[in-house]
Structure 1
């Protein structure tokens, strides 16, 4: 693929694992682009498509916000909008049961390799779209509580520290004896 790299404005974004922030959910940019000839040797993904790593961060889903191409280290999922709300599918694919099933079906060798047949073979629940939206709203709130530095647990910890310091200072402030 190196021979297909380009700096030209019409280059096609080439999605690699290093392009996604640790713990990220979306693919928004790439460090490199390839020529159209290079893209023709790859698989195109479009905004809204899911991309799953098939080796390094095994089975980790990402949602593409860009048009680009992926290489052999990725799988893609598209055309699911009639069945799944994208954010529900994201949470579902990241869930422990689905990840464990991917690992179980990928084999017990030294290097586990996720492939399209493994992903297709995993059965997942399909609640109604309205129920999926409800579940997403709850999971997104929990995610914000746990991970958003300005709210949730970090803010609660900060508030408890301030409360502790307040009471400590009050308890350790003595009136002078007359």
Structure 2
């Protein structure tokens, strides 16, 4: 990874620093609980004073989680495409891709078994798993030419969109069936107008 861009380790940013408004902020825990692959805006904010102490995230940067309670979530990545500069804190690193790799391609690559096997080599800890920024730099990434990266990203974006659509439709159908079930259940079990025989 060190040949593909610059990695900067974050610092600070407990959830207690969050504010209602202010500078956009991305907490490492939100990367595997809230965001998907790309963020155009942030869920959280911090004051300008707090932001001064934190690492800056610019358009096109990728935020990588360094720490989690499980290995699956370590290395989960988020491409930031927000217009306003954001900040991130500890337990995360900022990857600034070079011209050799697309940020979105990198994010998708971090979801592969190849990346998993690489990060597993450098993971430390039992209850809390960590792969340091220095060890992240050693991870090997397969990088095809940019044209092929673009095609891969386009196909995966299309698949991701189709998958989301299916999930949304299934969620609506499940909700509809649940409502229908509850209606008939209540109808069939409504004995208020019936005489109870001994």
Determine if the TM-score, normalized by the shorter chain, exceeds 0.5: yes
> What is the match of residue 42 of structure 2?
29
> What is the match of residue 24 of structure 2?
13
Count of aligned positions: 149
* Contact 2:26–2:88 (CA under 8 A) maintained in structure 1: yes
User: Normalized against structure 2, the TM-score is what?
Assistant: 0.63
> What is the match of residue 156 of structure 2?
139
> What is the match of residue 57 of structure 2?
45
The two structures, once aligned, show a CA RMSD in angstroms of 2.9
Query: How is 1:1-178 mapped onto 2 (pairs within 5 angstroms)?
Result: 11-16=22-27, 17-18=29-30, 22=34, 24-27=36-39, 28-35=41-48, 37-56=49-68, 57-66=73-82, 67-78=85-96, 80-149=97-166
Displacement of 1:51: 0.3
Question: As a proportion of its length, which structure holds more strand?
Answer: 2
Q: Unaligned 5+ residue runs, structure 1?
A: 155-178
User: Normalized against structure 1, the TM-score is what?
Assistant: 0.69
- Mapped partners of 2:90, 2:77: distance in 1: 15
Segment drifting more, 106-115 vs 61-70: 106-115
Deviations 1:112-149, CA, capped at 9 Å, x for gaps: 11221121101111211011112222322333343332
Judged with a 3 Å threshold, the aligned counterparts in structure 2 of structure 1 residues 54 and 145 are, in CA distance, closer, same or farther, namely same
Q: Unaligned 5+ residue runs, structure 2?
A: 1-12, 171-198
Which structure exhibits the higher relative contact order, with contacts defined as CA atoms closer than 8 Å and separated by 6 or more residues?
2
Displacement of 1:109: 3.1
